[in-house]
Chains A and B, each alone.
Chain A
Amino acid sequence: MKPLSRITEATVAVLEVLSQSDEPCWGLLVIKSSGKPAGSVYPILERLESAGWVTSSWEDDASRTGPRRRYYELTEDGATAAATAIRKVRTFTPSVAVVTP
């Protein structure tokens, strides 16, 4: 697994969504849950996958016809690195959810 050259607020938001999911997460759901635009989320997922933080796979739902959905999940090393990255960034820039009572 390779370290990321930069970890932005949007990257952390994507990592948080993936960390909080117990099963592979649909790409579209990452966009919705992170609240970040698709133009940010798709490149971030690609970078995470290239760096080995994330793996992706096609859906396995025979009942749905047409193009398949793509699901993402953190690798074992990726999950550890993501937790560290989230903690580091959130320490300096606490999210709204943390400071709101």
Chain B
Amino acid sequence: MSISRGIVKIAAGSLPKSLRDRYREQWLADVRDAPEQHLRPAQIALGSVAFALTVGRPLPKRRDLTPAEVDQRVRIARVVALSGAVLGLSQWASMFTGDYLGDYKVPDAPTLVMSTFLIACSVLASVLALVLIFATRGTSTRTRWAVALFAVASASPIVQSSLNSDSNAVSAALHPSAIAYLAAVIPVVVGLALLRTSRRIAGHNPRVSIPAGAVFLLIAAATLVNAMILWSLRAPLRFGAGPLSANNPIYVQWLKQNEQFEALMNNVFIGWGVGAIVLVAGFILFTIARRLSSREIVRLAVGGSALTFIAGGALLGFVQLAEPGVVPLPEISLVLIVGRLALVGAILSAVRAGAVA
């Protein structure tokens, strides 16, 4: 019964203030007296959750953004979009280093193509990094510092790749940039997700929150499963095709080295799964409580999923750094790239919405 009491208290706590005290007391009384009517307290608890998810909520009082505020947010959005593009290009470049190609015995012609591609990425990323710094004009001092830090950090893998360093060095250089990127991008993305006007609040549809949350959870779960397939010694599918094949001595050696990290990795997987569930539950409650429009809910789900990808990729990368003599797997790079590109898409969407707000 105490679990049911806890659930109805949480459900009542999520209600609008005008209904909160009344339903808390009513549901607590119903939970207490349910056995008297041969009903289970859990039924009342589930009912309170269903009520909290479907109750009509008053429109929150919000002021419309001034044109200057919209303009500043659009500027920030452009900055973040450019940041994503720079880091994405950095990631591409770091994939095609000399050691990586050498390990897989790639012939000379593709090496030439990849080298050309690497140079193109480096040049483009450098240009974008410069544009990025100029794009911060008009934003706050804190944003300019964050972007400058990111631009410097994101340049490091490009430089390393251009110098044709070994893969581990590139990987080691990449992760500080990922941290700087996350530190700079998360508050901005959250701010963009909250960008809204009264006009768009009118499009609120609470039914969108749950399927969007389900997709979000699916993506988070896919990220976790991908990590487990790559890292868990217990994963039945850990031997796949290509680089993950049992015939790949590098992968087999890597798994052997992983044995000493098994307990740590299991805890990481559990923490990751719990964190994803809490994140998605928070997402659903937030979108309902704040009456976000359908478009905003979808945008937030895309942004959140992208951040989950990035966080997952970064976590894998950190664990990977603990392994001596291990070559980065292309799957990890792919996860990072997909996440970052999705994030850029979400941010560009926010830019567009901000421009018409």
Contacts and interface: CB of A to CB of B under 8 A. Distances in A.
Interface of A: 27-29, 31-32, 37-43, 46, 50, 66-70
Interface in B31-50: 32-34, 37-39, 43-44, 46-50
Contact residues of A: prevailing secondary structure: helix
Given A28-B33, A31-B39, A70 B49 contact: no
B46 A38 contact: yes
A31 B43 CA distance: 10
Nearest to A70: B26
B48 A42 contact: yes
Interface in B17-76: 19, 22, 24-26, 28-30, 32-34, 37-39, 43-44, 46-51, 54-56
B32 A67 contact: yes
A32 B33 contact: no
Contacts of A27: 26, 30
5 contacts: A32-B38, A37-B46, A43-B51, A69-B30, A70-B26
A44 to B, nearest CB: 10
User: Interface residue tally of chain B, by bracket?
Assistant: 20 to 34
Contact of A32 (B39, B46, B47): B39
B50 to A, nearest CB: 3
A41 B38 CA distance: 17
Contacts of A46: 19, 51, 55
Nearest to B25: A67
Contact of A67 (B29, B37, B49, B51): B29
A29 B26 CA distance: 13
Given A28-B37, A46-B55, A38 B44 contact: yes
Closest A-B pairs by Cβ, 7 of them: A38-B47, A39-B50, A67-B28, A67-B29, A70-B26, A42-B51, A39-B47
A39 B34 contact: no
Given A43-B54, A46-B55, A31 B29 contact: no
A42 B30 CA distance: 11
Contacts of A29: 37
A78 B177 CA distance: 65
Nearest to A46: B55
B136 to A, nearest CB: 48
Nearest to A41: B47
B161 to A, nearest CB: 56
